[in-house]
Amino acid sequence: MIRPVTPADTDALVRLTADTGFFKPLELDALREVLDDYHAGNESAGHRAFAWDEGGRPLGYVYHAPTPMTDRSWHLYWIAVHPSQQGRGLGGRLLAYAEGDVRQLGGRLLIIETSTTAHYEPTRKFYAKYGYTHAASVPDFYADGDGMAVFTKHLEAPSSTPLEL
């Protein structure tokens, strides 16, 4: 089931993210800071974090927030599923949940940034599979030879059915 992330989840989410093999140590440190800031007040600033939980254990999570200085644009900053659980559709469910959450909050555009390296090809295919458009690339953004791919999706108006946690 999908539920809000709690402070007690931080260590497990950082470990889960490390286990994916996609994130550098400095990115894992940034995730810990993001989650600490979220629990210290960013939640009240509109940031949103949800975990997919089975048996009291988070198996995946998603973190998104409104993009400052825009008209109802949002960024999906983090999404990860533990490698042992990949291929079960959890990532797609977490992404769909984030999209629904953004819609319910009046968002109109969801933006996702990821690496252009070959290692991230499965990630880029994942976003394309769920209807995201590759809107732009910035060469050498993260490092020399590691550009940023920007994906976007326009979201329809919210349905009248509230999201279920």
CATH architecture of the domain formed by 2-154: 3-Layer(aba) Sandwich (3.40)
| Burial letters 132-145, b for 16+ CB under 10 A, else e | beeeeeeeeebeee
Give which of 93, 136, 127, 88 is closest to 3, Cα–Cα: 93
Domain ranges of the chain: 2-154
pLDDT in tens, 112-124: 999 999 999 999 9
For 62-81, the pLDDT digits (tens) are: 999 999 999 999 999 999 99
Q: What is the rounded distance in angstroms from the CA atom of residue 99 to the CA atom of residue 10?
A: 23
Strand 73-81 relative to strand 48-54, pairing = unpaired
- The tens digit of pLDDT for each residue in 107-153 reads 999 999 999 999 999 999 999 999 999 999 999 999 999 999 999 99
pTM: 0.91
From residue 129, alpha-carbon distances to 82, 92, 95, 125, 152 in Å are: 19, 9, 11, 6, 12
